[in-house]
Amino acid sequence: MLRHVALFCWKLDASESDVRAFSDGLAEMPVQIPEIRSYRFGPDASLGGSNDDFALVADFDDAAGYQRYAEHPAHRHLIATLLMPIVAGRHAVQYEV
């Protein structure tokens, strides 16, 4: 199994409704992309430090499943329309579990 972890920092002018729209869009991904085995995401719990603002953890059967997700039109549309307008920074890693 392959795990994908992405962390996001929002632009200063990103509104709560912008972040909610992004979250709502993420919630639709497992319905649209059958390669997703597990999909969890949410805002930072603000427990201290200089954490990022939002996290996503997704599991796939293998690297090929992850690649299909990454290139899927629904995923690409979400990035272009709901993420790019509000994201200031992103970090990601994929690893075998």
What number does CATH give the domain 2-45+52-96? 3.30.70.100
- For the chain, the distance separating the N- and C-terminal CA atoms, rounded to the nearest angstrom, is 5
User: Where do the structural domains in the chain lie, given as residue ranges?
Assistant: 2-45+52-96
pLDDT score for 72: 98
Digitized pLDDT (tens) for each residue of the chain, 97 residues in all? 999 999 999 999 999 999 999 999 999 999 999 999 999 999 999 998 889 999 999 999 999 999 999 999 999 999 999 999 999 999 999 999 9
Phi-psi category of residue 13: left, alpha or beta, with phi > 0 → left and psi -120 to 50 → alpha = alpha
How many Å apart are CA 34 and CA 10, to the nearest integer?
A: 28
- Which residues are CB-neighbours of 28 under 8 A, at least 6 positions away? 74
User: How confident is the model at residue 50, as a pLDDT?
Assistant: 86
> Does the reported pTM lie above 0.75?
yes
Return the SS3 of 43: strand
